[in-house]
Amino acid sequence: MPCWKRSSTPRESPFDVVVRFETSWLFEPAVLLAVRALLSLYAFATIFFIWGWNGTHGHAGEIARSFSYFTWLTYWGLAFYNLVSAIHTFSYWRTGTPLLARWPRFLQIAHSMFYTTIVVFPWIVTIVYWALLYEDGIFTSTFQTWTNTSQHAMNSAYALFEIVFPRTAPLPWIDLIPVIIILACYLGLAYVTEATQGFYVYGFLNLKKNSAGSVAGYIVGILVAAVIVFLIVRYLIVLRVWVTEKKLGKLGKFSTRGQPQYGAVDGGKHVPMHSIVSK
Provide block-wise average pLDDT over 10 residues at a time, the chain (279 residues): 46 79 98 98 98 96 97 98 98 96 96 98 97 84 95 98 98 98 98 96 95 97 98 98 97 83 46 43
Q: In this structure, is residue 7 part of a structural domain? A: no
Distance CA 241, CA 249 (A): 10
Q: In this structure, is residue 67 part of a structural domain? A: yes
Burial classification of residue 236, based on how many CB atoms lie within 10 Å of its CB (0-12 exposed, 13-18 middle, 19 or more buried): middle
Query: Looking at residue 259, what is its pLDDT?
Result: 58
Residue 35: half-sphere exposure toward Cβ, Cα within 13 Å = 16
Query: Looking at residue 13, what is its pLDDT?
Result: 65
Q: In this structure, is residue 14 part of a structural domain? A: no
Question: Which of helix, strand or coil describes residue 253?
Answer: strand
Q: In this structure, is residue 42 part of a structural domain? A: yes
Q: In this structure, is residue 13 part of a structural domain? A: no
pTM of the model: 0.90
Distance CA 152, CA 163 (A): 18
Query: Looking at residue 251, what is its pLDDT?
Result: 94
Distance CA 234, CA 38 (A): 25
Q: In this structure, is residue 18 part of a structural domain? A: no
Helices assigned H by DSSP within 96-209: 105-128, 142-152, 154-164, 176-197
* Residue 95 neighbours by CB under 8 Å, 6+ apart: 255, 257, 258
Distance CA 200, CA 215 (A): 12
Tell me the β-bridge partners of 51. none
Residue count of the chain: 279
Q: How many domains does the chain have?
A: 1
Domain boundaries, position 83: 29-278
| C-alpha angle 113-40-138 in degrees, rounded to nearest 5 | 95
Residue 82: half-sphere exposure toward Cβ, Cα within 13 Å = 24
Q: In this structure, is residue 121 part of a structural domain? A: yes
Q: In this structure, is residue 175 part of a structural domain? A: yes
Query: Looking at residue 2, what is its pLDDT?
Result: 44
